Structure 1
């Protein structure tokens, strides 16, 4: 899906084109965002900013997405955008931009901030399978390559079962924050044919090998995604892993 199989994971208010360009030497994909698309999600983001969190709050989020993806269109890195929305109705314009810019659209079912959950964004989507499926259906209907960012260790959420549902809705990938439950990657990889990106604690050879041995197709780096030392170490670990698998 992208090569090398190292992604830069979105960091709210930080992951923009400049950030992606800085990591393109090592990474095969960059997930920009997250971007709040509709008014309930944007109001939640404003409250987060008021309590000193970083968030992207452009006047026109759809135009912002287009500008960001356009800047990466000819760069040697797969562009992707992580989005938050309180309703699937907000997705079609961004899905069409992703189709036109050959970028991935990642639906955020991951963020756990109370303000976002209160309006139906982020982690609340994990427990509402049909609503999350409607997000994927809506985005794929408009031609985007769609995936979902999810979180492990959420009460009453069975990620392998959820991923089978996402696959039936024509999702292409799942981006899993393993939350110190690394073995969940094996459960997901064994349950579906989605491209599995493993996230959480990816820093070195040991963490890379653990996720790949569990069946991940790729890994992603979050907080240290602006640290060239970490990115180079992870890239080298991936290259060594691939060499051991070459005939």
Structure 2
């Protein structure tokens, strides 16, 4: 899927092509975004900006995704784009753009901001597995490589069953924010054949080895993804693990 097996996790309003380029010496994958695709999700993003959160709000989201991926053609890193939508059709549209760049489209079933959940984006998709599976199937139908960003410890959600359902719908990658339930990574690994990227608190050799010991295929770095000191530690630990797993 990518080498080294370190990913840069999307940071809304910050994770753009320049960010991916800066981290390319340490990571094999960069999930840009997230990006709101339809009017309902864009209105939710505007509400987030109004309370001082960073969001990408270009006039044309698809053109923005295309331009950002084009800006990475000379960079040795695989790109992906984390996307949000209250409706399914734009997910297929953006997946076709990603497929044209051999990039991964990542369906966001992760964000928990009230504004996004209220319109059916982010974590609300975890509570509606049929709808999430429809998003994944729509993206997979374009021949794009499909990732799903998931969150553990959501009340009423069986993450293992959700992982099985989205795999059956066509997901290739499961990007799991373990929260404080790191053992859920092992449960997802055991339940599916997807490429599993473990996320949350990845900072150093200890945290890398914990997730990889649970069977994760890769780890991702979130908030400190712009800190070369953290990225260097994570890269070294990941390369060491796969050279001689213990």
TM-score (norm. length: structure 1): 0.98
SS of the residue 1:76 aligns to: coil
Answering whether residue 9 of structure 2 is matched by residue 9 of structure 1, we say yes
Structure 1 residues 6-155: aligned runs within 5 Å? 6-155=6-155
Q: Point out where structure 1 has 5 or more consecutive residues left out of the alignment.
A: none
Contact residue 137 and residue 170 of structure 2 kept, 8 A: yes
- Measured in 2, the distance between the counterparts of 1:180 and 1:202 equals 12
Q: Secondary structure at the match of 1:245?
A: coil
Give the Cα–Cα distance (whole angstroms) in 1 for the partners of residues 35 and 86 of structure 2: 12
Is the contact made by 2:176 and 2:198 (CA closer than 8 Å) also made in structure 1? yes
Q: Deviations over 1:46-83 (max 9, x none)?
A: 00000000000000000000000111123210000000
Question: Matched residue of 1:91: which SS?
Answer: helix
C-alpha RMSD over aligned residues: 0.9
List gaps (5 residues or longer) in structure 2: none
Q: Does the aligned pair in 1 maintain the 2:5–2:239 contact within 8 Å?
A: no
Deviations 1:178-200 (A, max 9, x none): 00110000000000001000000
After superposition, what is the alpha-carbon deviation per residue over 1:199-235, rounded to whole angstroms, capped at 9, x for unaligned?
Answer: 0000001100000000100000000000000000000
Match of 2:215 in 1: 215
Determine the structure 2 residue equivalent to 1:230.
230
In the alignment, is the contact (CA less than 8 A) between 1:98 and 1:104 conserved in 2? yes
Q: Does structure 2 conserve the Cα–Cα contact (< 8 Å) formed by 1:73 and 1:79?
A: no
Separation in structure 2 between the aligned mates of residue 85 and residue 213 of structure 1, nearest angstrom? 34
Q: Distance in 2 between matches of 1:60 and 1:198?
A: 31
TM-fit CA distance, 1:103: 0.1
Structure 1 residue ranges, 4+ long, deviating more than 6 angstroms after superposition:
none
Match of 1:182 in 2: 182
Question: Normalized against structure 2, the TM-score is what?
Answer: 0.98
Q: Which position in structure 1 is the counterpart of 2:161?
A: 161
Cα distance in 2 for partners of 1:143, 1:88 equals 16
Q: Distance in 1 between matches of 2:32 and 2:135?
A: 19
Aligned length: 246
